[in-house]
A and B are shown apart, each in its own frame.
Chain A
Amino acid sequence: MQEVTNQQIQSCLHCQANLLPNQEKFCCRGCEFVFKTIQNLGLNNFYQLKDLTLKNTPNNLEPDKSFHYLEDPELSAKILKTFNHEHVEVNFYLPSIHCSACIWILERLPQVTTGIKALRVNFSEAQARIEYDPTIITLPKLASLLHSIGYTPVPVDDMAIKRKNLADKRKSLIQIGIAGLVAVNTMMLNDSLIEANLSGMEDSYRILFMWISAILALPVVTYCALPFYRTAIASLVVGTIHLDLPISIIIILTYLTDLSTIISGGLNIYLDSISCLVFLLLGARYLQHQAVTKARHSSQTAWDLFPDQVTELINGQTIKKRIQELQINDLLQVLPGERVPADGIVIDGESSVDLSFLNGESIPFKIQKDSEVYGGTLNLDGLITVRILAIQQHTRLGKIIEQLKNPVTEKTELEANLDLISRYFVIGVLIAAILTFLFWNFVLPDVAWSRTIALLVITCPCALGLSVPTTIAIAMRQAHQVGLYIKNSGTLQILNKIKNFYFDKTGTLTSGKLQVISANGPDKYYGICQQLACAAPSHPIAITLSNYLASYSSNQLTDLKLYPGKGVFGKDHSDCYFLGSIKWFDELKISIPIESQEIILLNLAKGLSISLVAKNNNLVMWFVLSDTVLEDTASFLKQLEQDHKKISILSGDNQKVVNHLASSFNLPNLIALGDLSHDQKAEIIKNDPETSIMIGDGINDASALQQATLGIGIGGGIEAILESADVYVGRQGLKGIIQLYYIAGQVNKVIKRNLIFSFCYNIIGAGLAFSGYVTPFIAAILMPLSSLIVILSASLTRYTKS
């Protein structure tokens, strides 16, 4: 490490970065602030672990002005739960909770801060429940405390809904608990009854046991089974049949018949069967509900990209307000490090923004006056003033989120069909039950009732109804976790059935991270090239060029215009400049000198890409770029070939370059088409009679993505997910597609497996019950067990590829 001369501290007390001569203890104000805050909270341990001595005097923490909005009485009423004037509870959503150390530091707060009585973190929901004393610490002060240690709080204002969900969850847990207890006890009593019937037991005991069973089962029939009755009645009201109907009928009918059996001195009762049935069914549904809720939760986290409070500029004065109060045409100030709260246009200031979540591009995008900015993007280095043009759901990010929310609720074709099938199935079961009863009542009246119950119980099509939605919900959740955004859940079911696969080349099959091999031409044009390249921030070649020439940046050009799939045009006074593909230059009739032509052709044959620059009608520069094929590309294409898919490469690049790439994969049936404009790509796909999938760049191939049965946008397209594509794979590129293909394969496998299982189960079960091989008790265990198997088989499967 660096030498330490005299007693002067040479590294920052907080981050240990080297200090400049004019700095005393901290390298920046940020470190100083964090240091003091950590000290104020008495969390010195942090530095002791880093072997640093502390010589700083703590000072009192002032509430950050920005959290004054929390004092708004309307908001407080929504988010606070008041026990008495010294005891208030608030729930904060802390998006930055991400690891177990976060729990540690947050739950330490009550010990080190007076006024905070208790703090509990819910890790999976990234929320903290805080009980505090408002006479000691005010809500804004509490919020700024959390903010200062890096957990900016967002008040949870849908608490009413949350409390209801929580209450529902607790209620179903209690119902499951009661049903379980009753099931076990009635089973025990019934066992002794069966023994008693064989060995002979005094009638008084038998009647006692029966009555105890009946009393125990009463809460199950009246309270625990309520959810089934409710759906059954609701479905009858709207005129359809739900699978809860036969369940309700079984429960009520069995209970009433058993009561009459007890009164009339009969021998066989089935109270243990129905208790067990209710218990296991409730349990299975609880598990399924949890899985689906979790899946839904994961698609809403993107809202975190919006800041909670914004700085409005009114007559030169800044005022903080909540994002919900934002209106179109408001003027907002966005500081460096803040996220832009809504879509708008920059009216003052210069900065660069991180657009990575929208286009997958990690290189900052420069903005200046009149540039458009999008809600959720991170402002990196300058203060900008923005006029708001669209807010909330109407922003680009908002629309993406809205579309991502739909898939879980939207039913796919297969699900709709299954609903229909299970409806007919229910009717079939009811008819079969009546026939069984009539048949056995005529042949062998003693067993008629028990066989009917067994049949009704065992054939309940629960497994059938649960299998598809559970599988889809869990697969979607796992897909979210690996960064795939699927607009329509049906995608997962149709992907594997699609026959023709179309790929874009640059950035899809290849890495898209090109390297400039040579720049041929006088360097006085470098600045112009750089500015032209910047005008196409989504095209991989343009990005490469603008980075390559970053040090030559200029802004002498005006009237910059992007021709998608062709190139960029710009004007310097009377001179026109063009940067683009060979094909575009042919169209523009810009001639290429013969000596350059030869070298260019040679490079093309080697599979290298060429970008040309012209001033007016003369070629002044050309760039040679190389691109590397992604390592997974070849094996993925091979797999597609094995699955009998027809693969085509559609590229705007030169035909020779595309041929070179295609031959490197060594697949005889691969079709390679180059020199295509994006309209031609769309045309090819449109004329394809088979189902097709297009995988390409979100912006440049938008029309082709739309024409395909299924369009998949690879990072680089905001519009990709909004309009043209069904799936957005962010910055993962082909890796995301491979993952998606795998997930779709897994989903189909699991659905098929589950459907086959539940059909076989129902048919075999019905036969066994009819012929009396299955008693009602065994049926009551088998039926929920089949649902459980389906749910477990869906939720234990790993859909994603590691």
Chain B
Amino acid sequence: MDIIYLLLPISILLALIGLAAYIWSVKNGQFDDLETPAIRMLFDDQEKKTKKEEDDSSSS
């Protein structure tokens, strides 16, 4: 049972790391706007294509 003395601090440490990550993400503004990212992710494919085409047109 002495293993508890090791496991408890580890589990608490893990929880604290998670908490720190959460606090960082909140302060970083990741929860400020929950609507736009949902739409923005739909553009990804198009974005690459546009960039490529632009490169093509600028090189020609």
Contacts and interface: CB of A to CB of B under 8 A. Distances in A.
Interface stretch (A99-107, A141-149, A384-392, A717-725): A99-107
A73 B43 CA distance: 38
B4 to A, nearest CB: 7
Contact of A170 (B31, B35, B50): B31
B39 to A, nearest CB: 5
Contacts of B15: 181, 185
Interface in B32-48: 32-33, 35-36, 39-40, 42-43, 46-47
A166 B31 CA distance: 10
A42 interface: yes
A245 interface: no
| Interface class of chain A by DSSP | helix
A581 B4 CA distance: 94
Contact of A166 (B22, B32, B36): B32
Contacts of A123: 33, 35-36, 39
B51 A111 contact: yes
A177 interface: yes
A156 to B, nearest CB: 14
A454 interface: no
A169 B32 contact: yes
B12 interface: yes
B26 A173 contact: yes
A166 B33 CA distance: 10
Nearest to B53: A45
A170 B27 contact: yes
A122 B42 CA distance: 15
Nearest to A166: B32
B26 to A, nearest CB: 5
B19 A178 contact: yes
Given A103-B40, A123-B33, A169-B32, A177 B27 contact: no
Contact of A174 (B4, B26, B36, B50): B26
Nearest to A97: B36
A111 B47 CA distance: 10
Contacts of B46: 104
Contacts of A212: 8, 12
Given A122-B36, A185-B15, A205-B4, A108 B50 contact: yes
Contacts of A42: 54
A169 B31 CA distance: 9
A45 B27 CA distance: 37
Interface residues of B, number: 28
B1 interface: yes
B6 to A, nearest CB: 13
Contact of B40 (A107, A178, A202): A107
Contacts of B47: 108
B26 A170 contact: yes
Interface in B1-22: 1, 4, 8, 12, 15, 18-19, 22
Nearest to A215: B12
Nearest to B38: A123
A185 B18 CA distance: 13
A181 B18 contact: yes
Contacts of A100: 39, 42-43
Nearest to B58: A42
Contacts of A216: 12
Contacts of A173: 26, 31
Interface in A95-135: 100, 103-104, 107-108, 111-112, 120-125
A25 to B, nearest CB: 20
A481 interface: no
A289 B21 CA distance: 25
Nearest to A209: B8
A707 B34 CA distance: 46
Interface in A132-174: 166, 169-170, 173-174
A121 B23 contact: no
A111 to B, nearest CB: 7
Given A111-B51, A173-B26, A177-B26, A103 B35 contact: no
A597 interface: no
A44 B26 contact: no
A208 B7 CA distance: 13
B57 interface: yes
A212 to B, nearest CB: 7
Contacts of B1: 202, 205
Given A104-B43, A170-B26, A181-B15, A44 B57 contact: yes
Nearest to A99: B39
Contacts of A178: 19
A100 B41 CA distance: 11
A371 B3 CA distance: 89
A120 B22 CA distance: 22
Contact of A45 (B18, B26, B50): B50
Q: Which residue, B27, B35, B36, has most C-beta atoms of chain A within 10 A? A: B36
Contact of B12 (A169, A185, A202, A205): A185
A359 B57 CA distance: 51
A111 B46 CA distance: 14
18 contacts: A48-B53, A100-B43, A108-B50, A111-B51, A112-B54, A122-B32, A122-B33, A123-B33, A125-B33, A169-B31, A170-B26, A173-B26, A173-B31, A174-B23, A185-B12, A202-B1, A205-B1, A216-B12
Given A103-B43, A123-B36, A205-B1, 5 more contacts: A100-B42, A103-B40, A108-B50, A111-B51, A169-B31
